[in-house]
Amino acid sequence: MRKKSKHFLKFLVSSMVVVFLVNFFLPVVNVLAETKKSVNIITNSEYSDSNNDGTPEEWNYYAKGGNYISSTVTNIIKDKPSSLLVHITNQDKNNVIVHQTVKLTQDLLDKKYTFSQWVKTENLKGGTANVRLQIVNKSNQKIDILDLNPKLTETTDWTKLETYIDIPKELNGEEVYGLKIENYISANTTGKVYFNDPVLKAIGDISITQPNNPVNPVDSLVKNGGYEKIKSDGVPESWGVWKSTGGLLVSSDNSILKEGNSSVKIENETLGKNSRGTLNQIIKNIPADMQKQSIKISQWIKTTGFEGKGLSLRLQYKDTNGNKIEPMGTITIDADRDMDWRNFEYIIDLPKETLGSIVFEYLYDDSIGTVWVDNTVVEKYIKVKSIEANPSIINLNDGEEKSLSLEFNPANTTDKNVTFESSDDSIMAVSDIGNIRGVNKGVAKLVITQKSEKIKLEIPVIVGDTSEISIDNINDINIKEGQVASGKIKAKSVNGEMLTYKVLANPSNGSINLKDTGEFDYYPNKNFYGKDSFSIAVKDESGNYALDQINVNIDKIDKSPVFENFIIKTNENVNINGALNAIDPEGSSLTFKILKSTANGQFNISNGVYVYKPNNNFNGYDYITIIASDNSGNETTAEGTIFVSPSINNIKATVKTEHPRILANQSDFNRIKKLINTDVNAKEWYGELKSRIDKIINEPVVPYNKPDGVRLNTLASKYIVDLSFMYKITGDTKYADRAWSELENVAINYPDWSHKHLLDTAMTSNGVAIGYDWLYDYLNDSQKKSIEDAIVNKALNIALDHYKKNDHRFVEDGFNWNFVCNTGFSTSALAIMGGNSTDLASQIIQEAFKSIQHGLPQYAPEGDSIEGISYWDYGTRYLVYFLSAVSSAINSNNLFINAPGIKETAEYPMFMTGKAGTYNYSDNDLVNPVGYLNLWFAKELNRPELTWYHKFYMDQVDSIVNVYDLLWYDPNLYKGDAPKELDKMYKNQSVITMRKDWGNKESSFLGFKGGLNGAPHGDLDIGSFVYDSLGVRWAMDLGKENYNLQGYWENTENGKRWSYYRKNAEGHNTLVINPSKEINQVVPAYSEVIDKKLNGKDGGYGVLDLTSAYENYAVKVNRGFNFINRNELLMRDEFLLKREGEVIWQMHTKADADIVENGKAVILKDGDNRLYVKLLTKGNLEFEVVEAKPYKESINPSGQNQNTGIKKIIVKSKRKEGAIDVWMAPFKDGDRTPNNAPEVKKLADWGEYYSN
């Protein structure tokens, strides 16, 4: 989406002209009366061309395409005797801009101006014409821009565009040089545009309201953060407004404020209608000492009636060359509906790249109500890395006092506020300023806490004599980063008494596991290197103590370069160059070596910059393998995929000319006509399909509607495909007539195809394209034109702009957005090739072929989807539409089918389908994926076995026959048997599924996962599982939440998404350690399968390493799943925590639950089906049944699903090291409760279960 000007727009409409007013600092009142008092300061406003070369004096051209004729004319004019005519003869990807920069001397700045110009168009196709104004600096670079409306198209009479503008001496931190006037024609346009009489006049001085008693200035990156300086349009000076859905109202408020004279008020624009937009400011000239550091953002906020997605802080980063740096900084502000003034403070780490600018934004997101903001401050913040105390051990006598000094690293740490706390006030007391006093004989620890960075330092304190116990000092232990330091305390009682050991002061950057024998293991925190220490207290039977402090030196490991597989895209016969995206964690320079060179072009590297020259007339795939090396000899190898898209001329030459050609040709439809009369399956499916489609005939056309205010109802596109298909099969024009009604409504009556949610645009475009193609022989020229114009203006022009600017996520997205958008735009382009927009269509195809390279790798190497099964279904449908359309519409080989994982992906729905629904981890449903995709893969790959899944799908009660079932059905291939393997592991998400068989609906199924936390559409669900038996899902995954919840899509480390029950560990069948308001699994974390045995006759098992998900609390966490006899489930969790804590085992279920055997077992009931759940762990652990909602210690945001009818079985273990063993066995009501519990073994010995 193009960012709008930050200035407030007003509109005046009369019967003769449309006047657009942009009020920077001055109300419209009293301005019109003064307009005639000054002179026009634009040079050559008549467009005089004394040289007759088509270039008026003082005007310049930016038009790389060379596809236009420019001239001065006198026969078509408005107010001036001559006009500028720009006649564009053919479409080109470049804009045509005729511009003049008016230099403004100092006496012409800080002035109010009015600008106006007349514009007329003739037969303008493909794009628009209007006027843009840019306030520029001395380098003639944009400081701010105004895009005047209306944007003219087709044929329009003279239209006046007029705006009021204040031009200050300084704007957004830069000195103003002048105003650039642009007569602007967008890319891909043909036709004539006339420009006449541009006028720019100064009409007065700027008046900015200054505060009477301003807030004390703060050294802040944002200007006017107190909102005291106010432009006369009511918006605070230095702040801009961007309006999206529903507009946005922003104004200063001098009646409701926190401090000073005013605040800024943000509210929805239309009564009762949600708004979306931002209050924003561009921060430039970021000081060198703040680069790559942190910033502190503070502000006061008040709300009234505020509801919706909420309020967020966004920081959009750009480097010194203006390139966007991802990801942006995003913080959801937890503002209540009705809230008095509350202070919100946040610490944000800036990117490691050098910043050129930051766009600082308050995002008012699809909400309603009023928000006030005051005293916004953005300032430098230096985080503390460590704190050292002197002395590091404190020895006291009873009543003795001592003080200690603290040293902060770095010394210029911003927040040096700490608290002091004694672990035992009966032994040692401490004052608020850190003075320590001995109270009684014994040991205690002084805990020093800096809350901002959660730094904690523990100092051992011993009070009394220590001579009764002797300890051999342990020399400093030296290890490398990530290693374990082990040792033993060697102590002796002078009196020969027995000694006991305990950890007194924990390490600051690691954890310690101390055994009863005095042996210890020290585990440094992940990625920590430097010095650490801990203290162990030794006690004899008489109550005497001694201390031993162990110092550990952790050496840094020089890590290998970070160099990931990459994609390079270019066009046929076009060289490309760029920087290899590799970095060394230590910051050393890298060298690159080609390990395996390209086969279809020349690839060279110099100083980290590559140049690739494809062979002459080559298009398709090429590959490169490169090694990146650092100064220490560490190496990383990366694979590069190079895709050379066909040239425009090549595309024009290879796209078929006949219709239909999208997904099918006429012979395909003829084949289907025969099948529905001769084949039992085809006849049955056709009957069901016809019955359903016939009901559409008398339905009204689908209106333009966004049920949730964001997403367009795209049912019309589905109707179009269904009706067009029936017309091709029956030849009955009633289907074509009804399809045309839908096409006409969508093409003409829809104001847009919801381009602000581009998935809707693509889905609509895809359906319209198929209808256009399949109804081609039915449509008349006028109908075809209206459809083609809609495709061009409501989809393809928008798409091409995104492709060229790479300013929309889909262009380089790796997941379903990529497939859906590229497919919709490709099928549309393929449908209209050969018509009036062939050049545009060819460009779309060329760009889509390059863009889809970013989506294809998601299937590599095994064909699974990191987003889960429902999104595999959604995205793969559109991928198959794309692949099928390429095969059917283009006379060349389909290169894309050979991408890694594509040929394997048809197996994914088979193995992800359980006995009571799919394994629906992440934002997914239990609904089975459609079966027709496997028909296409079976046909394309000649693999009959893939059709088994289609048979399975069609046997389900909820299966729905689709046109694609008939389109891709081949009776000769419809012979697929069930897969031979019963178990499957997918490495990307460490997913394993196991089953007893493929046919019996009541047999058992198990699915469990490790994988990546923070994956697209993912949850904090490492270690979670589902379990089916007797046709019941006993252990369930809750699936998706409400997509419109505030912050739902914030999946970064501290994203709001993880606060919702269904999206964090508490809402899954996994472990929760020490429930609190903090995130309960680490993001990002990755869990691997560390042991497994699959596809054994009597069952199998898998073991996951969950440690990375719980690294804040645990040294080691492993979880095993043993699928005994392919029926029962034995689970074992082994854990070692950094400190004693609470480990909670969880399982969600819809079944009724009865606790039996004094809490040692639970019987789940569903009808006459039963599941016996037995706790095999010895000790005092027991089952509880609780509601499926956050624990009382946890965060509980409003608006989330209440999980009615769902309960959670839990086991709580409160210890530092231990195991939890749970056995599940299905049985029927009336049968004896299972009593053949398996022997419990350590996970390391699980191979013994299947050793025979």
Are the C-beta atoms of residues 406 and 471 closer than 8 Å to each other? Answer: no
- 3-state SS class at 835: coil
Rounded Cα–Cα distance for residues 951 and 410 (Å): 66
3-class DSSP assignment, residue 65: coil
Interhelix angle 758-774/733-744, nearest 10 degrees: 150
Question: So what's the pLDDT on residue 760?
Answer: 97
How do the residues of the chain divide into helix, strand and coil, expressed in percent and rounded to 5?
20, 40, 40
Q: Identify the helix (H) or strand (E) that includes residue 885.
A: helix 869-889
Distance CA 419, CA 429 (A): 13
Q: CA dist 94 to 132, 580, 800, Å?
A: 16, 28, 11
**466 vs 430, 928, 1024, CA distance in Å?**
21, 71, 50
3-class SS at 1248? helix
Q: What is the pLDDT of residue 232?
A: 62
Q: How many CB atoms lie within 10 A of CB 431?
A: 11
Backbone φ and ψ of 1156, nearest 5°? -130, 175
CB proximity list for 468: less than 8 A, separation 6 or greater? 493, 494, 495, 540, 542, 544, 546
What three-state secondary structure class fits 1209? strand
- Cα dihedral: 934, 935, 936, 940 (round 10): 100
Closest CA to 1127 of 1171, 1091, 1090: 1171
| One-character DSSP codes across 300-348 | EEEEEEEEEEEEEEEEEEEETTS-EEEEEEEEEE---SSEEEEEEEEEE
Closest to 1062 measured CA to CA, from 1106, 1018, 1117: 1018
pLDDT along the chain (1252 residues), means of 10: 30 29 30 52 94 90 80 92 92 87 93 93 90 90 81 92 86 85 90 96 75 61 92 83 84 94 94 92 91 95 95 93 86 94 96 92 95 96 93 93 94 95 96 94 95 92 91 93 94 94 94 94 93 95 94 95 96 96 90 97 96 97 97 96 97 97 98 97 98 96 89 96 98 98 97 94 98 98 97 96 92 93 98 96 98 95 94 95 97 91 96 97 95 97 97 93 98 95 96 97 97 95 98 98 90 91 98 95 96 96 98 96 98 95 98 98 98 96 98 93 97 96 98 96 96 79
**Beta-ladder partners of 1148:** 1208
Characterize the bridge pairing of strands 152-167 and 469-472: unpaired
**Cβ distance 385 to 410 under 8 Å?**
yes
Tell me the three state secondary structure of residue 453.
coil
Q: What is the pTM of this model?
A: 0.77
811: helix, strand or coil: helix
- List domains and CATH numbers for the chain: 8-205 (2.60.120.260), 240-381 (2.60.120.260), 383-464 (2.60.40.1080), 465-557 (2.60.40.10), 562-645 (2.60.40.10), 649-967 (1.50.10.100), 984-1250 (2.70.98.70)
Q: Nearest CA to 767 among 786, 753, 781, 751?
A: 753
- CA angle, residues 501, 425, 1141, in degrees to nearest 5: 55
Q: Is 970 helix (H, G, I), strand (E, B) or coil?
A: coil
Sequence-ordered list of residues with C-beta below 8 angstroms from that of 1071, at least 6 positions apart, any chain: 1023, 1065, 1106, 1110, 1117, 1119, 1133, 1135, 1143, 1144, 1145, 1146
Name the residue with tokens 């091709």. Answer: 728
Looking at residue 54, its pLDDT comes to 85
What pLDDT is stored for residue 797 in this prediction? Answer: 96
Distance CA 1114, CA 325 (A): 34
Interatomic CA distance for residues 117 and 150, integer angstroms: 12
Q: Which helix (H) or strand (E) holds 729?
A: helix 715-730
Please, what is the Cα angle at 1233 between 1229 and 1238, to 5 degrees? Answer: 140
DSSP 245-299: TT--EEEEESSS-SSSS-EEEEE-SSTTS-EEEEEEEEEES--GGGTTSEEEEEE
Cα of first residue to Cα of last residue in the chain, in angstroms, is 63
Residue 502: the pLDDT is: 95
List beta partners, residue 196. 118
List phi, psi (to 5°) of 1223. -120, 135
Residue 538 structure tokens: 């030794």
What per-residue confidence (pLDDT) applies to 212? Answer: 58
As a whole number of angstroms, the distance between CA 983 and CA 992 comes to 7
Taking Cα atoms as reference points, which of 205, 123, 152 lies closest to residue 20?
Answer: 152
Structure tokens at 585: 């964690």
User: Which pLDDT score is estimated for 13?
Assistant: 27
**Which tokens go with 938?**
């079976």
Residue ranges with strand state E in 336-467: 339-349, 355-381, 386-390, 394-396, 401-402, 405-409, 419-422, 428-430, 436-438, 442-450, 455-463
CA distances from 299 to 260, 333, 969 (A): 14, 11, 62
CB contact set of 3 (below 8 Å; sequence gap of 6+): 242
Query: In this structure, which amino acid lies at residue 549?
Result: Q
**1121: its two tokens:** 């799943």
Rounded distance, CA 553 to CA 532, Å? Answer: 7
Question: Beta strand 477-480 with 545-555: parallel, antiparallel or unpaired?
Answer: parallel
- As a whole number of angstroms, the distance between CA 1116 and CA 296 comes to 35
Please give the structure tokens belonging to residue 736: 């074509």
Rounded CA-CA distance 399/396 in Å is 8
Write the DSSP assignment of 174-243 as a string of letters. EE--EEEEEEEE-SS-EEEEEEEEEEEEEEEE---BPPSSPPPP---SSTTTT--SB-TTSSBTT-EEEE
How is residue 336 written in tokens?
């209540």
Length of the chain: 1252
Order of strands across the sheet that contains 601-606: 576-579, 609-614, 601-606
Select from 255, 264, 348, 329 the least CA-distant residue to 300: 264
One-letter amino acid identity for 744? E
Rounded CA-CA distance 1150/916 in Å is 13
Residue 6 DSSP symbol: S
Beta bridge partners of 17: none
Helix (H) or strand (E) holding 693: helix 680-694
Q: At what angle do helices 932-941 and 869-889 cross, to 10 degrees?
A: 50
